[in-house]
Amino acid sequence: MGTSKWSERANCWTSTVSPDPSSDQALVVEMLGLEALIRLAPDAPSRRALIRPGLRKKPGVVAGDWVTWKPVDEDADGPDALITAVAPRENLLSRPDFRGKPKPIAANLDYVVVVATPSDPPLRLGLVDRYLAAAAHNGIDAVVCLNKVDLDLDGSAQAQLLPYARLCPVVTTSAVLETGIEALRRAVQGKRSVFVGHSGVGKSSLANALIPGLDRRIGEVNDTIGRGRHTTTSARLLDLPGGGELVDTPGIRAFGLSGIDVRRLSELYPEFVERADDCRFRGCSHTHEPGCAVRPDVESGEIDRGRYERYVMIRQSILEEDF
C-alpha cells in the first residue's frame, strides 16, 4: 500500500499516491469552535477532531493547516480524534480582531483573491490595497476579482482597477450573468486560494459558480448601511473540480495591517520597490524625503496617484496605531 503524501509545492494533497489509513497527518478543512473538521486523505470524508488546549491560541489552528492527530475514544456523538500538533506553515493570512490582535484566517495559501464590486456594496480601493499589502507581507500572490461587473454600467469601476493590472491578474466576473467564471477558474485552478472581501461582494456566489452543487448560502446587502449580511460563518476549505482548493471566508467590514512595521510598508508596493534603489536615502518612505524617486512618478502619472495617496493614509493609520 502506498502512503498519503502532501505536496508542499502545490499546497494540496497529491492524487498519485494511495492513502495510508495509519497516517497520523491530516488537513484541516474547517474550524468549529474548539473542534475542527479534518481530512485524512484525498476524497475521504471529513471527521471531527478536538484541538489540544495548548494549540488553540498559539499557533492556533485554521483551515489549510497540516496537523498531526491521534484517535481518542468516541463519546456518543463527540469527536473521535485529537489534534496534537500543527506543522510549520508556508504562510498564514490573518486579520485583526476587535481588540487589534491578529486573528488567523487560513494557512498555506497560493493566492489571495480579493473580491470587490462596483456597487452593492461600493468599490473600496483602500480595502483592496490593504489586502494586497497583507498578501505581499505574507509572501502570497494576489488576484483582484471585480464581481457584479453587470452593475458597472459606465465602466468606471473597471477603469479604477486598470492600475492594478500592472501588479497582479485582474478578473471581471458576474455570478448572475455567469460571465468571467471560466477566467477566474483558470486563475485558481490547481492552487489553494482564499476569497476575501467585504460582506455582500459575492464570494459565496462565486464559490457556487466554481463548484457545481456547492450551494453556499447567499445573503443580501443591507440597504441602510450598504454592507452585506454574513452568510459564511467560518472559513472552510472547498475542493475545486479539476484540482485545487478554495477557502471560503466570512465577509469583513474592515481590514487592518497591525503587525506590519511601518518602515517596511513601502516594500509591499511593487511599483515603489521598482524605484527604491533610485531614492537618495535608503529606507525612503516616499512621503517627504528629498531625492525620492517615487513621488516624481506619481506626479507624471507613471504611478497611480490614488493608490499612492491611499498608501500615505494607510501608513499614517499604522503610525497612529503604534502610537
Distance of alpha carbon 190 from alpha carbon 193, whole angstroms: 9
C-alpha cell at 8: 508542499
Q: What is the pLDDT of residues 303-314, one digit of tens each?
A: 999 999 999 999
Tell me the CATH number at 60.
Answer: 2.40.50.140
Tell me the CATH number at 314.
Answer: 1.10.40.50
Q: How distant, in Å, are the alpha carbons of 32, 171, 306 from that of 130?
A: 28, 18, 14
46 and 98 share one domain: no
C-alpha cell at 152: 458597472
| pLDDT reading at 69 higher than 90 | yes
160 and 203 share one domain: yes
74 and 100 share one domain: no
Per-position b or e across 19-43, b if 16+ CB within 10 A of its CB: beeeeebbbbbbbeeebbbbbbbbe
Which residue type occupies 27? L
Range of the domain at 42: 6-86
C-alpha cell at 302: 507613471
Burial-class residue 131 by CB neighbours within 10 Å (0-12, 13-18, 19+): buried
22 and 61 share one domain: yes
112 and 60 share one domain: no
Q: What is the pLDDT of residues 33-55, one digit of tens each?
A: 899 999 998 888 899 999 999 99
Q: What is the pLDDT of residue 231?
A: 41
Residue 58 lies in a domain: yes
Indicate the DSSP class of residue 316.
H
Distance of alpha carbon 201 from alpha carbon 215, whole angstroms: 16
How many domains would you assign to the chain? 3
Q: What is the pLDDT of residues 142-188, one digit of tens each?
A: 999 999 999 999 999 999 999 999 999 999 999 889 899 999 999 99
| pLDDT reading at 219 higher than 50 | no
Does 260 or 289 have the greater pLDDT score?
A: 289
208 and 279 share one domain: no
Q: Where are the alpha helices (DSSP H) in the chain?
A: 125-137, 156-160, 181-188, 203-210, 270-276, 295-300, 305-322
Distance of alpha carbon 233 from alpha carbon 41, whole angstroms: 25
Burial-class residue 87 by CB neighbours within 10 Å (0-12, 13-18, 19+): middle
Which residue type occupies 262? V
